[in-house]
A and B are shown apart, each in its own frame.
Chain A
């Protein structure tokens, strides 16, 4: 029987003409020489130069009055939302940067941040893309050359991002009057594949993390316009701890919503679940905030999506004789600094700043005795 089987396999193999595909690794990404050839029809802009040149205050997408205009400004001439389309023809408009985010943890969704180092300083830009699990294609540390022609540069809640124009029709959404209208939308996947080019292979070590304090994060960028160029900055903050508070040092019980798994809507159940990173918002989708603090006592929000894989993990705490005690685990956090602002909170305040981690691996916390914090899942 075995002989028959082996003979059969041999016959099968003989009949097949196995086709080998010779895919040369170097053909898969651009070398510096190829980058030069690629951009010969135009020029590469540094990210901040790109923003300065193409991102206007009002945007160029709509010139008349629209819903988005009314939500964009309180009359001070500062627009939190904008769209500037980029010419689809003519000289090539390129930017390049290294991906600084990873969406495996689920805290980034259909978005990347790229980082460019210019004169030793970070320049960052968000990319809004219609591509789930984009890190599988563009992992952290991968440098990209992006041809921006035909795309748009816009701001969503004051956060600049490479995008395409999109119209939000969801009039039933929370604060719909502020949301409905033209908005920076996700770049369709085929366009990403066409216009986002790998430059070299990923190298996370080339990402630059700025070591900052919470005070520096929240104090230095009160200017709304200036803050735009700080959005997306990759930072490390040391000597921090979770203080058991949320948004603007508020009480957890006041900002929790629902059971992270079931949607009973029972406030009593909800309150008991407040101490996880991100209870559900029941599809509203806004990120949840948990405060970290340091010796200054100031709060910086750690922003987590309810869809993050770690959303249902407890924030670091210690059970001391049946009581929940925060702050015993201290250490560092690394992530992307963001400046999210809606119309209601237009006046800059410390709570508008948040750090977004990719996953719990971005937390390095220990007790005083050196015991490392081990994430603990919520259970029913």
Chain B
């Protein structure tokens, strides 16, 4: 392993060395002195300082303007030339010039107009990103990247217009979108994602950025398969003056105010900028509108100071933060959407003492401080270094309960559909039993005396279902009864008050707060050298120490006196735990404790409870890149070596961890870490350290650009890398114990390369692009292909057979992401531009996955034929051929834009989405369910090989067999199931059957008004989904829980658990796109 790494490093070093030798001093003679110079300014006459790019369309030469907006192009061919000027945040401009031989051709000042539409859209995007943070696990559908708006036609179009459909760049997870601030890597070490809410509302702070599309060469990072964005927050990059703005919207927040002042570069070398912002929404108690039951309150500040010295040194001090408190909304089943008649139904709120109250309140604040240093050593060399620190408070509240009914209004047993349970036959049809119209009053007899179909609210009601009960429940839901469809807060207070009075030790209900904080210290060094002719060398070093801090606190006892810190599931299942291994009474007491050294602790508001652990991580990488630029072609290659480590530590020893260690004394460290022996000896410590896991991952990429001519280019990029698992995917249940996924243990003990990378994901990918840039039309067509090998994933769910919460780890996941993306912008006369973009892709699993399922409370999940318990069920999951649920895989849009030089703009966009799929639940596709046996041959309970009809309890084989009695497989090798069991396991398409519902229409209009003394007012109105398409599902997931029933009088060995034919008992949950929504902003600059 080490030899291989050494070899790779040596190879890159050698290449650098050789290249340096080959390209040393600028010896090439130049025959021409034709030059082109100019200065790029904005509509106020101020220089554009964020690195405008000037390209000569015919000669295929480009340069970047300096901080004063000035540019120079030398050694040009005299000809009629088309000069294309692009700058982020501005509308591109094309100017025709005649280059006169041997002269310096001065274009003078070239004005670029602010792209008001983009400015408004980026604010909207940030809003959308925050809306997506509803899922604490960060796995919900997300905007591909709020910041990926580069000058690339495809990215410009997709980053906003396609965000409604939750399009993701090439179907990658959001942690493949890398985000940097002044060069510092700000994707968190633990989850891999960037916290956009850390600068929520601070659109000026995030205005200046470098964007690298996918695998392309970069000057601030090695990059990866996804886009990389580097936010540049140096104060001198902002235009001098004041800017104040107000905005109104009907999205998550309703109003926003902000003010920014930038000093611009001062004579003494200093520059300053300060921005403050506030976004707010009161609680919305109107049912059925966007944001019902949600309140929003967020402040924000951004301060940056910069000092420039004449000798090329620059120092920047940056700090920002956006303390936020906001309510959340949750995904629900289609039945609930239908009953409530609204896609905006939110199950997380209810009335408390007459006021609206949300149970899921996020509090976040990520104060960040950065010191960055830049040294322009000479015109060809630049050194940048930065250090940063941020402490991200992130917590979310949730209701929890102890020996009390589930308080969730949309709990499956509270819905009318639960009455169907047990009423379906083997074909998924409602059974027909005793019934008369007399007792199902809505039913009528047919003329022939047979019983007519009974229905209510458009649903067929079973003849053996009580219509009155069905009707009552349905009516409660349809009427949006507060006690039924929302959280009954007063009922929870009443229950707690009753508990107090009846002398119970613990409150029945409590609002807990789950804290997932992280602190990170980050450094970065970046060096660029363009001294050598044709060669640009870029090298960098990134390092980060991160600590995830996870604990729960008692947020609100809801009138209860105290909360006893035991695990209710473990307490309930204590009989099984005790009898499995014959624990002593003291041991049994340990099992249910969340801290075995402090039994039955009474917790008050603000106290920590449940768990309190740290995830300590170190990440570092060094990388280097060589870019060769010639007239006909460019080529680059880069190598990165990354080191990472993770180690869990905890202040509380969980009783289930202790139990599992007791159960497996030879592997006690797996559960209790380094402190296992002292814990088992009963020695209390202040901190218990887990095992440390370290990884080294190499990455290599290269690219080639063939310049067919000044307007046509062909580009090819490729990458190969390994990637250590993120901490969030590495631990089986980090709240409970130190146990990591099995491949990491293999890795830890590796003696060969294969074992060393047993836990790492391998990624190989590439893309081929044809770029074109004509005066009338510009754009690109790209084909991409990325293969992931050996990915891992964690799932947790309630298992009906084990009757407890289980954790399922998936490893060995292979998948491919391939497709074509294309975009073109066509100028239609002076004022109009038509832009089209399409992404046709296929994101698909190419292998089955390995699965290990274990109960979080430590009890056995099932048993073998000989009666011995199985604590970890090893199986595989039929994933091959399934679609990766990462947004639509076919998207196309057309956008007609209008721009008038009197600063009017407008656009209208039509986007079509297709091939979008539901995220599947691996628990429904376990091999043992289809074959009746686990990997080790052990028969299992509750397989599709023996399912209950649910009517007469005759067992049928839901797996389809051919005449020879063999399973019928699909082309991916997955056995086929009979209806309705195929509904349980199938991957559903989220695409509406009505083609019209697959379209989303957006529009925006804006105007910039110039006032005397360089003052200006801009007004923007953006309306998304203005046709109010409320049938558009953006994502969703299958519930992992399976409907099972127990067979009476049967032992586990005889198979006492069967799957029930009620495929709809635990249906999927969906996310819908918001209906018509708007964003109106007014900005005044002076």
Contact = CB atoms under 8 A, between A and B. Distances in A.
B1083 interface: no
A165 B466 contact: yes
B469 A169 contact: no
Interface string A16-30: 110101111101110
Contacts of A265: 1051, 1053-1054
A311 B573 CA distance: 12
Contacts of B462: 167
B581 A380 contact: yes
B357 A258 contact: no
A12 B1056 contact: no
Interface stretch (B142-150, B493-501, B738-746, B922-930): B493-501
Interface in B447-467: 462, 464-466
B491 A193 contact: yes
Nearest to A196: B491
A186 to B, nearest CB: 9
Interface stretch (B481-489, B784-792, B829-837, B999-1007): B481-489
A203 B501 contact: yes
Contacts of B867: 262-264
A137 B404 contact: yes
B473, B867, B1048 interface centre (most CB from chain A within 10 Å): B1048
Interface in A116-149: 130-142
Given A21-B357, A193-B483, A134 B405 contact: yes
Contacts of B468: 85, 88, 150, 164-165
A43 interface: no
Contacts of A62: 434, 436, 439
A63 B405 contact: no
B498 A202 contact: yes
A53 B264 CA distance: 87
Given A263-B863, A282-B1051, A28 B580 contact: no
Contacts of A260: 575, 579
A135 B423 contact: no
A68 B950 CA distance: 19
B436 A64 contact: yes
Nearest to B575: A312
B1053 A15 contact: no
A271 to B, nearest CB: 16
Contact of A15 (B298, B391, B1050, B1052): B298
B498 A198 contact: yes
Contact of A263 (B283, B476, B572, B1053): B1053
Contact of B1052 (A29, A67, A263, A312): A263
Interface in B219-239: none
B434 A16 contact: no
A28, A138, A142, A164 interface centre (most CB from chain B within 10 Å): A28
Nearest to A283: B1046
A282 B1056 contact: yes
Contacts of B483: 190, 193-194
Contact of A172 (B363, B405, B952): B952
A131 B404 CA distance: 9
B473 A191 contact: yes
A182 B469 CA distance: 14
Contact of B576 (A193, A198, A261, A379): A261
A272 interface: no
Contacts of B495: 136-137, 139
A169 B433 contact: yes
B520 interface: no
Nearest to B433: A167
Given A137-B404, A166-B466, A167-B434, A190 B367 contact: no
A132 B406 contact: yes
B493 A23 contact: yes
Contacts of B438: 63
B494 to A, nearest CB: 4
B255 to A, nearest CB: 14
Given A137-B405, A139-B498, A309-B574, A174 B1049 contact: yes
Interface in B493-535: 493-495, 497-499, 501-502, 504, 508-509
Interface in A317-358: none
B490 to A, nearest CB: 6
B773 interface: no
A91 interface: no
Interface string B535-558: 000000000000000000000000
A105 B504 CA distance: 13
B422 interface: yes
A135 B863 contact: no
Contact of A283 (B464, B583, B1048): B1048
A79 B341 CA distance: 44
A181 B355 contact: no
A87 B722 CA distance: 69
Nearest to A273: B579
Contact of A282 (B325, B363, B406, B1048): B1048
B431 interface: yes
Nearest to A174: B1048
B464 A169 contact: yes
B414 interface: yes
Interface residues of B, number: 96
B559 interface: yes
B1050 A282 contact: yes
A5 B401 CA distance: 33
Contact of B434 (A67, A166, A202, A204): A67
A328 B283 CA distance: 65
A245 B582 CA distance: 26
Given A167-B423, A191-B472, A282-B1056, A23 B575 contact: no
A45 interface: no
A189 interface: yes
B57 interface: no
Contacts of B325: 15-17
A264 B409 CA distance: 40
Nearest to A60: B439
Nearest to B1048: A284
Nearest to A102: B502
Nearest to A130: B413
Contacts of A8: 321, 365, 367, 391, 393
A104 B620 CA distance: 52
A140 B504 CA distance: 10
Contact of A61 (B439, B578, B1049): B439
A137 B582 contact: no
A173 B1054 CA distance: 16
Given A16-B363, A150-B468, A167-B423, A11 B323 contact: yes
A285 interface: yes
A137 B355 contact: no
A141 to B, nearest CB: 6
B1048 A172 contact: yes
Contact of A190 (B355, B484, B576): B484
A64 B1051 CA distance: 39
A56 B591 CA distance: 50
B365 A193 contact: no
B967 to A, nearest CB: 26
A194 B491 CA distance: 10
6 closest A-B pairs (Cβ-Cβ)?
A136-B404, A172-B953, A261-B579, A167-B464, A28-B494, A15-B323
7 contacts: A12-B393, A25-B497, A28-B491, A64-B434, A139-B498, A284-B1048, A379-B578
Interface of B: 283, 295, 297-299, 321, 323-325, 352-353, 355, 357, 363, 365, 367, 391, 393, 401-406, 409, 411, 413-414, 418-419, 422-423, 431, 433-434, 436, 438-439, 462, 464-466, 468-469, 472-473, 476, 481, 483-484, 488-491, 493-495, 497-499, 501-502, 504, 508-509, 559, 572, 574-576, 578-583, 585, 588, 863, 867, 869, 948, 950-953, 1046-1054, 1056
Given A64-B436, A172-B1047, 11 more contacts: A12-B323, A23-B352, A85-B439, A85-B468, A133-B401, A165-B468, A167-B433, A169-B952, A189-B411, A189-B413, A194-B476
